[in-house]
Copies of this chain bind each other. A is one copy, B any other.
Amino acid sequence: MSIRRTLLCLALAGASRGHAEDLLPSWRETPSKKVITAFVETVTGKDGPGYVPPSERIAVFDNDGTLWSEQPMYFQAFFIFDRIKALAPQHPEWKKQEPFASVLRGDLKGALAGGEKALLELVMASHAGMDSGEFEKLVTEWIATAKHPQTGRLLTEMVYQPMLELLAYLRANGFKTYLVSGGGIEFMRPWAERVYGVPPEQVIGSSIQTQYAVRDGKPLLLRLPKLHFVDDKAGKPVAIQRHIGRRPIAAFGNSDGDFEMLEWTTSGPGPRLGVIVHHNDAEREYAYDRKSHVGKLDKGLDAAPVRGWTVVSMKGDWTAVFPDLKR
């Protein structure tokens, strides 16, 4: 056996010992944790009736409100506003043109007063008009320093420590973990691997249209100001089938936008896990559900007990919400 393979075997032996450790240290020993670990033990139990081969261990995670915060608004909106401000010198007309004028005055409520049409205009102005490589660079540079307006943390530090542990725990048990988010697919890909351990090919999201073109001998994927797909509500199962081609066995969400994804996932045969993260911790994060304009959770709260979905209480089930900052 080569040295490299011997080292690999030692690493595997270490991993073997690791299975006895608690991979979910930020989860209290509550029923929520027990449901999750019992499910994982069932599907990995080789001789049990609930065994699922690794190739079918697909877990899907919503992002906004499930893996990172979404208050006071979706973080991608901060990116949009920062891009609009950066582009303003090239667009003097925006000073008098809504929704841009409101953004430039810092009046975010006014900017969104125009509803979906205004939002789409802002998305296209900030997300289209460049090629895919340029957009990736813009997001990468922006996310490296973008901070939360209330906590002052980097946005990538507004992720939930217990959910990071859960992602790693599932992967350690042979799961393939996917993001299935209403957020932009190309907005998440540049940092999802670093922050969540989820590679670009396992990120699913909303998208605008792209076009292949060769300019000065250089092939490019141009980002067009046209909506391609909204990965929300009934769009989530459609996108899951399109990208993955099999039904997940575990789904994690937090809002009614995840309802159909949970429904689709948990309606299949064999062991299934549906989890809703409930934002009930105003002290450590935020508290909102049935009446929130962002991340509204109403239908899901009613359906959970009927459908056997687990409602995770941020307040009761988690010992910590955000990762410790070692800076």
Answer whether A132 and B241 are a contact pair too, CB < 8 Å, given A218-B267, A219-B260, A263-B219: yes
Query: Which residues on B sit within 8 Å (CB–CB) of A55?
Result: 193, 199
In the assembled complex, how far is the CB of residue A197 from the closest CB belonging to chain B, in whole angstroms? Answer: 11
A233 shortest CB reach to chain B, Å: 9
Is A109 at the interface (CB under 8 A from chain B)? Answer: no
Q: Which residues of B contact A16 (CB under 8 A)?
A: 1-2, 5
0/1 per residue, A182-200, Cβ < 8 Å to B?
0001100100010000011
- Contact string against B for A residues 282-322, beta-carbon threshold 8 Å, 1 for contact and 0 otherwise: 00000000000000000000000000000000000000000
Name the B residues within 8 Å of A200 (CB-CB): 244-246
Q: Are B238 and A211 in contact (CB under 8 A)?
A: yes
For the complex formed, measure the closest distance between the CB of A214 and the CB atoms of chain B, giving whole angstroms: 7
Chain B, Cβ-Cβ closest to A244 = B201
Closest to A263 in B: B219
Q: Is A207 part of the contact surface with B, judged by Cβ < 8 Å?
A: yes
In this complex, the member of A176, A199, A212 whose beta carbon has the largest number of chain B beta carbons within 10 angstroms is A212
Chain B residues whose C-beta falls within 8 Å of the C-beta of A246 in the assembled complex: 200-201
Contact with B along A169-188 (1 / 0, CB 8 A): 00000001000000001100
CB contact list, A203-221 vs B, under 8 A: 203, 207, 210-212, 214, 218-219, 221
Indicate with 1 or 0, residue by residue over A239-268, a CB within 8 angstroms of chain B CB atoms: 001111110000000000000100110010
A84 to B133, alpha carbons, bound, how many Å?
44
A87 partner residues in chain B, CB cutoff 8 A:
none
Judging by beta carbons under 8 Å apart, are A238 and B267 in contact? Answer: no
A127 to chain B, nearest CB (A): 14
A120 at the interface (CB under 8 A from B): no
Pick out which of these stretches binds chain B: A6-14, A21-29, A94-102, A142-150: A6-14
Sampled A-B contacts (6; CB under 8 Å):
A5-B12, A55-B199, A201-B244, A210-B242, A219-B237, A219-B264
- Give me the interface of A with B, judged by CB distance under 8 Å: 1-2, 5, 8-9, 12-13, 16, 55, 132, 176, 185-186, 189, 193, 199-201, 203, 207, 210-212, 214, 218-219, 221, 234-235, 237-238, 241-246, 260, 263-264, 267
Given A201-B243, A212-B238, A243-B243, 19 other A-B contacts at CB below 8 A? A1-B9, A1-B13, A5-B12, A8-B12, A55-B199, A132-B241, A176-B201, A185-B242, A186-B245, A201-B244, A203-B245, A207-B242, A210-B241, A210-B242, A212-B237, A212-B264, A214-B263, A218-B267, A219-B267
